[in-house]
Each structure stands twice: as structure tokens, then as C-alpha cells.
Chains A and B, each alone.
Chain A
């Protein structure tokens, strides 16, 4: 489709004058779709919308693509050693494979070059406004959107443009979540969130306490075991530490062989427990707490080295932190330890500060919108969120299909409005659906999904939209 919006830059001559409710001038971008963020999910949104014939303006607050995976970005959470925890077939975009010469679990630097090649290969950069941040997204009549932007850092004038649709792909791993502890202000040691941990040199020769048993917490604990003079690893409960390889293949590939055969969860859990018993055995003998849940019930932790270093004494497992003293940390079991550095690998919170929370059905403003397929908002058929998922596998395949579905929904709005209306009804009826088995602590992990369950849901949403 050739439209005047194809070139990705608003042409002042061609846009019709309009203004919004406050009387600010708005440049009308016609059928163009706005994409917020040029990270992995934003890039695949641009590519898929372009492929379906839509003009796209993408706004990116940084000066490069790759979002969280670009270590040059000030919001990037990656550290020097970050590697993928899902193997290549689960991580790559389904229509742009990673090179055969790369390892099973690529390094974050390779991932960045992958996104840069994706952007160049499909000529996406000409649609991206770099160094531009979105400060407001407001619905206007006709299911259209006014998007207000300015230069990153608050310089320059604000500009408002009107779009036919908006894809929010601003990522969810940049706003650190710091738990509250009694006495934390008085603690004299160094405190950092994992987001500011970049290099093991920050830990070298020090006594380090790592709090949190997510994948990041485990990675940092492993690095502390190699670099620090002492390492404690505090976890709230016992977890299943999955090795990255089992039975001679990447573990997620083995798991998916079972999923493809639709082996029931119980059987998979039993097989998993059995393989773990054959390798690392009972972890409580190291002082690790016994898991209070079965495997697959929390976000998987893929780390072959953690147990290895616990077994070599490099990591001392300790329970939850009770309170901080000026020169010590008191643990839940009453013990006191004296770390010099405390690293909180306690995760991140999704934030959409440019959007009125009520648009998302999130009146509490808790950063927890009510969505269908974690992407579609009741009452706003031209708004989609891409990549707001915490899959038990790679994310990019999932955001690829989310954006394909959204592009086809926009096509249906134009060509077969009755189908788009039926879709909107399904969004209203089914918002808040979950796509995983039983999950422990599900309030914290509300956007946790099982990749197979989720992709099947997308598949059926697509065939309902386009079915005969």
C-alpha cells in the first residue's frame, strides 16, 4: 500500500491543521500507527505493521535500537556477562533466525547486533525518531490517539501528532523495584539495585550479599562467588534451579519435545524432579530451603552454575533479610552477617507514565492493566501493548505474533469491520485471562505466561479474527 505516510516523517505541508481540546496544534498523521519504543518488541511492531501496509512513526528515547538489550542505554539492565536463558529457537523472531554460528545461549552483545541487523535488514530505522520521548498518549474521538513527544531529557518544544493506532512497547525491565526493610537508611555499606550492577569488578574482593533468586540474582551470586571475598545469597523461599542442558540438549528444547506431545503437567513435573534427582540431588543438604511448590509453578530459573558454586562453598545460601543494622544485616533466622555490598536483584515494575491509568482499566495506578492476551484493552480497539509478558521462554517470538495479530486487527477494521467489532467484544469479555498453569505468588507475577499456552491463545485469536 502506497500512502503519503509511507516515508515515516510528518510532512508539515501535507498534514491538515487540527487542534486538541486544550487548543494545542496537532498534526494529523492519517492512517499512520505510532509505536512507542524501538526495543525488541517495538522493532517487530514496526516491521509487521509495515509488512501489512501501514505507515509507522516510532519514538525512541535513546539514540539506538535494542532497548533493554543495548548496554549503552541508561535504562538498560544488562550486565557484562548477561546471557540468554532460553536457547536460540525460542529466542529469535520466527521469520529472522539467528546465525547458525552462534551458541545455543547467545551473549547480550550478540543479541544487540541481532536487533541492529533486524532493523537494517527490514529498513526500520527510517521510521524511528531517535532521542525522542513520549510524554503523553491521550485517546481522542474516532478511536484515534494524540501522542505528545519532546526531546529526551525534556529539551525542546512539545509536539503533538494524531495517530490511527498506538503500540506501546516501552519495556518492563527498567523501573527498579526496591523492597522496604527496617533500618535500611542506617546501613553503612554500599547498596545497589541489580540495574546498576554492570561488571564483576564492582564486587571484587568484597563481602557481598545478593538478595533475590530471579535469574539476575542467581547470575550475580555466581559472579560474586568467583570475584568477591565472600558471597551470601538470600532467597525468600526454595526454588528449582534448572540446568541449561539436560539429556545432551538445551533444557528448553527437551521440555518442548514433551509439550509438543502434550504430556500432562503432572508427568512433566515428575520427569523434571526425577532428572534433578539424578544430577544435583537434594539441595537442602547445602542449606538451601526446600521448594514449597512444584517445578513449573514459578518463573523458571535456568542456571547451571549456582548449584555448582553452592557445592564448592562459593555461595552461602541464607534466608530472607529481617532488618538492617549500621554494620550488619539480620536474617530471618536471627543470624547476623556483615556484608560490605548488598545487591538487590528484586526485579522491576512495568510503568506507563505517559498514559492515564484509567485507559488501561488500572484505576489504582499500580502499573497493572487489565488486558486480553496481555495486549488488548477493553474499550480501546486501536491500542495494543507489545511485550508485556514474562514468558517461561524467549519473549521476541511472542511479541512478534502479538504485533502480527494487531496489524491484522487494524486491517480487519478497514476491510471487515464486523469482525473487528466481534474481536472488540472478545477483548471486553476475556480481559484478564491468564496463560499459564498454577503460579505461586501470582499477584507479583501477573504477566507471567507459559509460551505454549500463550501462543495457542494467539493462534486461536487469529483464526477467530480471520476464520472462514
Chain B
């Protein structure tokens, strides 16, 4: 992001109508020895909770010396139910948790959580940001989802829940039993937030010019490879690709590869220190 992008100072709506607080679930794994690395905050996508990162990624990041936290957006996982939640409320949740961490955090968003992170970046100067299989909305995403899984997607158009199936989320390598367990834990996002996706909500420019990494899988059945490229170009880079993996890179069989790539990038990226 260019440092000269237009800043928005006047925020009448946020001043006069602040987001109503909601109780949040935050899971964490911290390394035994604090090594001064920036903390990571993982933001799950719609339907997922902090548990999706607690399965593998939190522990793995901690074993490599990074404090790792995952938040459940309101209405997800162990956070307070919030059927009327909006994208703005989700971004509020992320900024609140980020600001509560001891040091400037790196925000890692998955799926629609990446869109929430993109919005949060306009309100919090993150050390860096990672967008994993980002769902930035628009009719293309809806079209792809309708083709793959019409019965699970159509109700969402009318305010019902979005039901993703295992074929969309995981590769064939993941054992059936595990995949079923994960799909069974999925919840749903607020209908207003789901609808907001259709409008392809454009995030304001990030504050503090953080470095941004985009990664995903060319075999993702939710996010087409073209979308990955488009999002990465918006942040002035190219996506990092992990062929053969499904949409849920943090739960799929080869979950270690993307998180290792993220941590390697953080160790190398000078601005993220």
C-alpha cells in the first residue's frame, strides 16, 4: 500500500454509534521462551471458530517461537451469539483483540476472515498481515459456490445459513472421519455479514503501511486462483500457492506447509520485526 493513500479522519458514525461490545473467545498458545517475535492473531472465516486454528496452527507457531492467538468472531465458536452481526462488528472484534496483545500484532485472516482483517487494517496499524485463501466477496464467489454446492449455498442468499461441504473445504488426503468432525463443528455468520459479501465491500487503505502476504491453493473450490491473484495484486505482490490443498489450509492434511511458509516470511520480512 502506498503511504500516500487518502486517510479518513472524520468517522461520525463510529463516534456516535460505537459497536456494541460482545463477549469474545480467544484461544492462545505461547512459546515457553519469549523471543521478542511479533504475536500472531488468527481470524477464522465465516462459519469457523478459533478452534479451527487451535487444531494445528497455534501450537505449531508457538513451537517456532511465536505467540499465537485466535479469536472467534461474535456469533462463532465460543463467542457470544450475534445473529445481527455486521462486517463492521467483526472488524471491531479483531481490532479489540489485536490492541489487547502485549505488542504490535500480525493479523492472519482466513477465508472471509481475510476480508475482516483487511477492514481491521484500516483501524489498527498491524506489524504485518497474511490473507489465507481470502474471500473478498462479489458475485463470482457466489457463482462458484452455487455451482459446487447449490443446496448449501442457496439458503444463504435468502438469509439462511451457508453450509459448506467437505469437498469444498478439504482435499481427498484428509481422512473422512476428521473431515466429518470439522464440518460438523461449522457454525454460521450473521446474515447481514453474509449479504455484505455480495456487495464486494472494499476496505479502506491500511494504516501504517504493513507488509501483506497472500496465500492459497489453486485447487481451492471456494476461492478461484484468479481471485487469489487479484487480491495479491491489490497489495502489490503475487500469491504463494499450495497445490492440492482444499480451502481450509489450516485443517487439511498438509496443514504444516502453509504455516511454515507464513512463519518463514515473517522471519525474513524486515518490516514485520
- What residues of chain A have their CB less than 8 Å away from a CB belonging to chain B? 2, 51-52, 88-90, 94-97, 99-101, 120-123, 253-254, 256-257, 259-260, 401, 404, 411, 452, 455-456, 458-459, 462-463, 466
- Assembled-state Cα–Cα distance A2/B273 (Å): 12
Contacting residues, chain B, for A88 (C-beta < 8 A): 18
Q: Does B15 contact A (CB under 8 A)?
A: yes
A302 CB, min distance to chain B CBs, angstroms = 15
Residue with the highest number of chain B CB atoms closer than 10 Å, among A95, A99, A455: A95
Tell me how far the C-beta of A446 lies from the nearest C-beta in chain B, rounded to whole angstroms.
23
Interface residues of B in 232-257 (CB under 8 A from A): none
B residues within 8 A CB of A99? 96, 99-100
In angstroms, Cα B100 to Cα A452, docked, is: 28
Chain B interfacial positions (CB closer than 8 Å to A): 3-4, 6-7, 9-18, 21-22, 92, 95-96, 99-104, 123-125, 207-209, 270
User: Distance (Å) between the CB of A445 and the closest chain B CB?
Assistant: 23
Q: Are B99 and A463 in contact (CB under 8 A)?
A: no
Q: List 21 A-B contacts (CB under 8 A).
A: A51-B125, A90-B15, A94-B11, A95-B124, A95-B207, A99-B96, A99-B100, A100-B22, A101-B21, A120-B103, A121-B103, A122-B104, A253-B17, A254-B16, A257-B12, A260-B15, A260-B16, A455-B9, A455-B10, A459-B9, A462-B9
Question: For chain A, what secondary structure do more than half of its interface residues adopt (helix, strand, loop), or is it mixed?
Answer: helix
Query: In the complex, A466→B104 CA distance in Å?
Result: 27
How far is B96's CA from A89's CA once the two chains are assembled, in angstroms? 13
Given the contacts A99-B96, A121-B104, A2 and B270 also touching, CB distance less than 8 Å: yes
Give the interface centre of B102, B208, B270 by most chain A CB atoms within 10 Å: B208
Residues on A with C-beta less than 8 A from B209 are 51
Cα–Cα distance between A139 and B7 once the two chains are bound (Å):
32
Q: How far is the CB of B128 from chain A (nearest CB, A)?
A: 13
- The residue on B at minimum CB distance from A100 is B21
Q: Which residue of B lies closest to A90 (CB)?
A: B15
Given contacts A97-B92, A257-B16, A404-B7, could you give 19 more A-B pairs where the C-beta distance is less than 8 Å?
A51-B208, A51-B209, A52-B3, A94-B123, A95-B207, A97-B123, A99-B99, A99-B100, A121-B101, A121-B102, A122-B125, A253-B18, A254-B16, A256-B12, A260-B13, A401-B9, A452-B10, A456-B10, A459-B7
Q: Which of A95, A401, A463 contacts B123 (CB 8 A)?
A: A95
A256 contact set on B, CB distance < 8 A? 12, 15-16
